[in-house]
């Protein structure tokens, strides 16, 4: 639409302000309006940047009227930047409803990419990233939680989710049930912040760790692909055959141990012993 404004979907730092891109910085300093999940949080970022746009609230409880008012601003020619407290809007954060409303009005939406806890956690997990499933936060209880846990055991894909720190141990134990105790996982907390920590191990090992050292801060979890054989639990014979195949293809012992553990759900120590037996 000629003369209309643009909605910019802007990724902001998870914690470390140095992760804000030059493009995002320039935009936030020049855009006339910023729609924020929490205006108090975003005001601190804008103050750091010496940016002075008009700041309005847009969060998960905003009604249709708020989205319509932002569309009206865009129609009038004002550009608007959409931000959340941290990370990328629309990724388990408010944003999708506004983007849908703006697109429905025939107006332009432009991403300003940057920090995301999802990709940050996957990148340091060591698990395959060619196919992954993002499940957001786990439901607290009931049939919804059961369905969510079922999705987390879909074989062949890496799974990423968020969880409140006080519920990490319970979720790990639920995920470990049903023959999945040996499945590998990575728990990341306070990503890019002062107390950043990543813990990698089997789901049973991580559950014990979380019980002894309850995590604090924002938590992102990555699960290695569930075993392809489904609900029957890890299959040592299948692991042996896969390890032999990978070794014959010239893969290093270290790579073979990691891949076999990730694909079968067997504990890495068990796979290591198996690989040593097969190696000349």
Torsion sign over Cα 118, 19, 74, 109: negative
Same domain, 100 and 201: no
Measured CA to CA, the distance from residue 124 to residue 240 in angstroms comes to: 27
Same domain, 10 and 80: yes
Residues β-bridged to residue 222: 160, 186
pLDDT in the model for residue 273: 87
Measured CA to CA, the distance from residue 99 to residue 119 in angstroms comes to: 21
Same domain, 132 and 224: yes
**Any idea which residue has 């790579």 for tokens?**
255
Same domain, 110 and 125: no
Question: Does any domain span residue 104?
Answer: yes
Same domain, 225 and 155: yes
Same domain, 252 and 222: no
Number of domains making up the chain: 3
Same domain, 78 and 21: yes
Question: Does any domain span residue 1?
Answer: no
Average pLDDT by stretches of 10, the chain with 280 residues: 87 96 98 96 97 94 89 97 95 87 96 96 95 95 91 93 96 86 94 96 94 95 81 68 84 84 74 86
Convert 78-87 to b/e letters by CB count within 10 Å (16 or more is b). bbbbbbbbbb
Chosen domain end from 77, 99, 115: 115
Contact of 32 with 8, CB cutoff 8 Å: no
What tokens were used for 230? Answer: 């489904």
Contact of 73 with 28, CB cutoff 8 Å: no
pLDDT in the model for residue 40: 96
Q: pTM of the predicted model, to two decimals?
A: 0.78
Give residue 110's domain range: 6-115
pLDDT in the model for residue 231: 47
> Residue 140, class by beta-carbon neighbours within 10 Å (0-12 exposed, 13-18 middle, 19+ buried)?
exposed
């Amino acid at each position: 639409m000629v003369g209309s404004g643009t909605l910019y979907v802007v990724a902001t730092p998870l914690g470390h302000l140095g992760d804000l891109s030059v493009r995002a910085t320039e935009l936030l300093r020049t855009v006339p309006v910023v729609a924020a999940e929490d205006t108090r949080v975003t005001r601190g970022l804008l103050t750091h940047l010496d940016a002075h746009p008009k700041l309005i609230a847009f969060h998960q409880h905003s009604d249709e009227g708020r989205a319509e008012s932002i569309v009206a601003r865009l129609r009038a020619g004002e550009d608007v930047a959409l931000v959340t407290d941290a990370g990328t809007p629309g990724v388990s954060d408010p944003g999708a409803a506004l983007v849908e409303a703006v697109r429905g009005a025939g107006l332009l939406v432009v991403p300003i990419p940057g920090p995301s806890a999802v990709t940050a956690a996957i990148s340091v997990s060591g698990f395959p990233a060619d196919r992954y499933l993002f499940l957001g936060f786990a439901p607290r209880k009931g049939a919804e939680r059961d369905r969510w846990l079922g999705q987390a055991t879909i074989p062949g894909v890496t799974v990423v989710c968020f969880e409140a720190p006080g519920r990490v141990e319970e979720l790990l134990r639920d995920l470990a049930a049903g023959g999945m105790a040996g499945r590998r996982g990575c728990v990341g907390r306070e990503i890019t912040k002062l107390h950043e920590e990543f813990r990698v191990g089997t789901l049973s090992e991580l559950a014990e760790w979380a019980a002894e050292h309850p995590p604090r801060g924002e938590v992102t979890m990555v699960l290695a692909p569930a075993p392809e054989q489904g609900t029957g639990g890890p299959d040592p014979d299948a692991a042996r055959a896969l390890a032999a195949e990978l070794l014959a293809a010239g893969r290093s012992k270290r790579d073979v141990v990691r891949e076999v553990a990730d694909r079968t759900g067997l504990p890495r120590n068990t796979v290591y012993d198996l690989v040593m037996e097969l190696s000349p």
